[in-house]
Amino acid sequence: MTESNTIYPPLQLFIDGEWISRGSRNCEPVLNPATGEVLGELPHATREDLDRALASSVKGFKTWRALLPEKRSEILRQAAALMKARGDQITTVASMESGKPLQQSRIELHMSTEVLEWYAEEGRRAYGRVLPQRQAGTRMLVVKEPVGPVAAFTPWNFPQGNPARKLGAALGAGCSCIIKPAEDTPATALLMARCLQEAGVPDGAVNMVFGVPSEVCPYILRSGVVRKMTFTGSIPVGKELMKIAAERMIRTTMELGGHAPVLVFEDADIESTLDQCVAAKFRNGGQVCVSPTRYYVHESIYEKFVAGFTARVGRLKVGNPLNTDKQMGPMIHARRREAIAALVQDAVDHGATLNTGGSPIDGPGFFYQPTVLSSIPLSARIMNEEPFGPVALINPFSEFEEVMALANRLPYGLAGFAFTDSAKRVKLIGEQLEVGMIGINTFAISVPESPFGGIKESGHGSEEGIEGLEACLITKFISEA
């Protein structure tokens, strides 16, 4: 038996507390993107499976919301503890499925357990309020209640973190959750579901299904069961699902794509800025929604910055994500690698300078070279479409107003970053950058207590922070005479 067979769990559906194997269901292979090897066969939920999961979510909602918040909190904490105890398996499986270097999966595990713990606590603070009386003997109450069964759809790129945010928020608020994680990374999510079950989450409070996304997601949304959708993924898919959610006025949290600008001013400490910029760009091979993408560097330090960036990229170690000395793994699948190659070629055709990289890496797996492009015309597709890959784009600027206009020119508005020592600039950037999250002299913009989310076409609503819990609660006003 190979190592992957012993670590990688059987792929199943999780419905009403039952682990369901493939039987006669349609299946799809799940690949290791670093080797091309088939890790397992993922069963697709049938219509009957989905109906059962939906009915179970209604039942699970009743059971789960009836538990006292303190008890729910204890269960979520226990689930986090189980995840930590099984961390070696969960992170190895996450890296096998997603191609993310093991060190990064370990950081993600830490983040995900912290998120569950955060919601465990925050769920105990879903306070309402009592309004001042208008008449003697009356009472006016504002109460918070769980919204109801939540549908959650997650992408592959944070196979632990994305499900943790959605399950944590829904369960913390007292909702049930029917979740369809990405079909590329199902085992990681299934291992997490098992931790939740063993921690004491009752049957039906969490259901996990897989299938053909364009069939499963609309079916769940149109069922009449779901009261809220929380979606993380690409903008086009998000827009389609929002239209379907609108048919039943389902509340939405939409965490969509980005094209993050990074403004590097002449007073930034160039060496430490470069160290941070390169590490952040190639995290998860650039397949991160808040990945720094468009570097705008002041003209006085532009050439030095491009040279320093290119030199550092040349030292990156690319390879199998389970080898702990590797800093970058493969693209998630062949399609993503082809998409990156086409975007880079288009930029070069438009006259961009290719400083390093720019080619697929031969051999098994879906590897693409870490790539640096500079002097890229705005007409190139990559300056307008989310690359979601290991490509840094570096252009010069001269004036503050000019760079702010460049940063804000796209319909994306997820994250933005700036490196400067000027307090005046920091204030202006905070006021003028059209994004949901800003990092000044840092790329660290996500902790459980901070709201994570975008504006413009990058979506609406936030996960984590008090906003994340609020998104799964309804507000009810009760006037008692």
Active-site residue numbers? 255, 289
Using CB atoms, what's the residue nearest to ligand NAD? 233
| Segment interacting with ligand NAD (CB under 6 A) among 51-59, 70-78, 256-264, 302-310 | 256-264
* 213 Cβ contact partners less than 8 Å away, ≥ 6 residues apart: 153, 180, 183, 237
136: alpha, beta or left? (left if phi > 0; alpha if psi -120 to 50): beta
Q: Does 454 bind ligand NAD (CB under 6 A)?
A: yes
- Between CA 391 and CA 349 the distance in angstroms is 16
Distance of CA 121 to the CA centre of its chain: 22
According to CB under 6 A, which one of 8, 14, 118, 153 is a site residue for ligand NAD?
153
Least spacing, CB of residue 72 vs ligand NAD, in Å: 25
- As given in the structure block, the two tokens for residue 314 are 């040349």
Q: How far is CA 96 from CA 64, 163, 365, in A?
A: 33, 17, 12
Q: Does 255 bind ligand NAD (CB under 6 A)?
A: yes
| Segment interacting with ligand NAD (CB under 6 A) among 136-144, 231-239, 426-434, 473-481 | 231-239
Least spacing, CB of residue 415 vs ligand NAD, in Å: 9
Binding mask 259-298 for ligand NAD (x = CB under 6 A): ------------------------------x---------
Q: Does 156 bind ligand NAD (CB under 6 A)?
A: yes
Least spacing, CB of residue 156 vs ligand NAD, in Å: 5
According to CB under 6 A, which one of 50, 178, 414, 437 is a site residue for ligand NAD?
414
Report the b/e string of 114-125 with b at 16+ CB within 10 A: bbbbbbbbbbee
Q: Does 219 bind ligand NAD (CB under 6 A)?
A: no
Least spacing, CB of residue 155 vs ligand NAD, in Å: 3
The dihedral over CA atoms of 105, 107, 110, 115, expressed in degrees to the nearest 10, equals: -90
- Between CA 91 and CA 402 the distance in angstroms is 43
Least spacing, CB of residue 212 vs ligand NAD, in Å: 9
In the chain, % helix, strand, coil (3-state, to 5) comes to 40, 20, 35
- Give the angle 309-353-411 at the CA atoms, nearest 5°: 80
Q: How far is CA 281 from CA 145, 197, 289, 327, 349, in A?
A: 40, 36, 11, 11, 23
According to CB under 6 A, which one of 30, 171, 182, 344 is a site residue for ligand NAD?
182
According to CB under 6 A, which one of 180, 283, 294, 298 is a site residue for ligand NAD?
180
The footprint of ligand NAD (CB under 6 A) covers 153-158, 180, 182-183, 213-214, 217, 232-234, 237, 240-241, 255-258, 289, 386, 388, 414, 454
